[in-house]
Amino acid sequence: MTEVATFTGNRGLDIEEKLIFEQDSPGHCGVDLPEPTTDELRLGGVKPRGGVGLPGLAEPTVMRHYTRLSRMNMAIDTALYPLGSCTMKHNPRLNERMARLPGFADIHPLQPVATVQGALELIDTLAHWLKTLTAMPAVALSPAAGAHGELCGMMAIHAAQEARGEGHRRRVLVPESAHGTNPATAAAIGYTVDAIPATADGHVDLAALKAKLGPDVAAIMLTNPNTCGLFERDIVEIARVVHEAGAFFYCDGANFNAIVGRVRPGDLGVDAMHINLHKTFSTPHGGGGPGSGPVVLSAALAPYAPISAVVHDANGFRVAEHKGRDGAPEHSFGRLKAFHGQMGMFVRALAYMMSHGADGLWQVASDAVLNANYVQARLKDVLTPAFDNGYCMHEALFDDRALKDTGVTTLDIAKAMIDEGFHPMTMYFPLVVHGAMLIEPTETESKATLDQFIGMMRSLVEKAKSGQAEWFKGAPYHAPRRRLDETGAARKPVLRWTPDAPLAQAAE
Ligand SMILES: *Cc1c(COP(=O)(O)O)cnc(C)c1O
């Protein structure tokens, strides 16, 4: 790889961009404000000691700065984003258009309900379809993400058990392959987390689970399809034994995309499940956030749901904000966040559902599973599927056996993918698989895109096997900062920019 030195430090479209504060050019301003008519201070006895320290920049500089920054991230709008478990599907522009309608975008949660009837109806309609798709009688819409939904579901379980005089149930069973948020949620509420081992073929070990059940178990937190990309075939039996032991069944529904429209979690015996609208229902994810993690609840848990709740009666729609009053959940455990949830996400998710219809959502699950199986089938002669059960659900999981003795690791492959213009797959998760590579293409990728991705992966693996470990250690070559010290960044993050000269002086 030959590096071409440039005067600017830029490499083509890869711009060497300074922090906005480092670009400060005092005296410049992006807007024309009229001269103040008075210089009288209205701060009482408080006197400002200096400037506020905002950088002075003209409008084009600001535009360029943020546009350049936006180019430094991989994005679903630029390429396939195969991050397993995250369901990075296309965010349809129709959804964006709906979310920007003034009747949804320019309202305030404290407005009189008579002026927001349409918005409340939309929330109620979304709730209806989430309950229908999951065969569950209730849904709490306020959680702001999947992890927040887990907290919601587990708090409802906790409240229900306290009410039954079973507050002594302090143990929560979580499979070894679970997403880290599951044990973290249980621990955050004060439960003890007890890990259930996986079988050699990537499922929950039913015998081990049965052996762990007892009068002190509050719940099981199980992901289905699981994080190994497999449907938990014993799920009905799992629900049965968990209920028999007097515990609740929390299902992590982050992987709902694989079964939406085809399997209803309520039919499987689930008591609570979060749905990531930003995964299954195509609302923007991560930096495009906020997310939204509604939780569907069984009849046993519904009375403990959080407030607020949208209620519909002869007088129209309203928001019930006090537990046990006006149709709010009778024994609500309280509020999870201010107001009623992420309105913009609700609009996008409903637009997605309505534009697909029941048959379209059924097709979503089918195509997501087909695409993942296509990737697995076309890569399994060069990479090793972690569990060769024949087929996977909506994501293909490989381990690093194929890289043995090459000197190239899963991390090196991920870094080389950045040079190829793809966001890396999920790596080293689930923890039960050595050097895991978890690839989720989603249903929104075309065969041509999948073929390009597969060709790229095959060429990287072949390169690894041809003794080019040294080259891999240098990747990525086409990134502004090349290979970062990720451990250092996590352990000793530098979160604050310190100017060379104190701001007050710099502003003079
Ligand atoms: C994404 C995910 C979560 C957490 O959801 P967030 O919205 O990121 O908080 C939990 N479990 C699984 C399996 C996930 O993929």
pLDDT at 423: 96
Q: How far is the CA of 179 from the centre of ligand 1 (A)?
A: 7
pTM: 0.91
- For 24-43, give the DSSP string: --TT--SS--PPPS-----S
Query: Hey, where are the domains in the chain?
Result: 1-33+52-72, 94-352, 359-482
Comparing CA positions, the residue from 250, 290, 43 lying closest to residue 153 is 250
Q: What's the count of helices (H) and strands (E) in the chain, helices before strands?
A: 15, 13
For a pocket test of ligand 1, which of 81, 89, 150, 179 has the largest count of ligand atoms closer than 8 A to its C-beta? Answer: 179
Distance 73 CA to ligand 1 centre (A): 21
- Residue 501: the pLDDT is 60
CB of 76 closer than 8 Å to CB of 422: no
- Closest atom of ligand 1 to CA, residue 87: 15
Work out which ligand 1 atom sits closest to the CA atom of 252: 11
CB 261 within 8 A of CB 365: yes
For ligand 1, pick from 185, 226, 252 the residue to mutate: most ligand atoms within 8 Å of CB.
Answer: 252
The confidence score (pLDDT) of residue 378 equals 98
Give the pLDDT score at 287. 61
Distance separating alpha carbons of residues 456 and 452, to the nearest angstrom? 6
What confidence score (pLDDT) does residue 359 get? 96
Q: Strands 437-439, 295-297: parallel, antiparallel or unpaired by DSSP?
A: unpaired
Q: How far is the CA of 24 from the centre of ligand 1 (A)?
A: 39
List all residues whose CB is within 6 A of at least one atom of ligand 1.
85-86, 145-147, 179, 181, 223, 227, 252, 254, 276, 291, 293
Q: What is the reported pLDDT for 500?
A: 73
The CATH fold of domain 359-482: Aspartate Aminotransferase, domain 1 (3.90.1150)
Length of the chain: 508
Q: How far does residue 301's CA lie from ligand 1's centre (Å)?
A: 22
Low pLDDT (below 50) residues in the chain: 504-508
- Give the strand pairing for 295-297 and 272-274: antiparallel
pLDDT tens-digit map of 114-136: 999 999 999 999 999 999 999 99
pLDDT digits (tens, 9 = 90+) for 284-337: 987 656 899 999 999 999 999 999 999 999 999 999 999 888 889 999 999 999
In one-letter notation, the amino acid at residue 308 is: S
The owner of tokens 């060069």 is 382
DSSP character string of 44-68 = TT----S---PPP--HHHHHHHHHH
Report CA dihedral (176, 179, 185, 191) to the nearest 10 degrees: 0
pLDDT at 289: 61
The answer to whether the 94-352 and 359-482 domains have the same CATH topology is no
Choices 3.50.50.60, 3.30.70.600, 3.40.640.10, 3.40.50.720: CATH for 94-352: 3.40.640.10
* In contact, 120 and 318? CB cutoff 8 Å: yes
Closest residue CA from atom 7 of ligand 1: 146
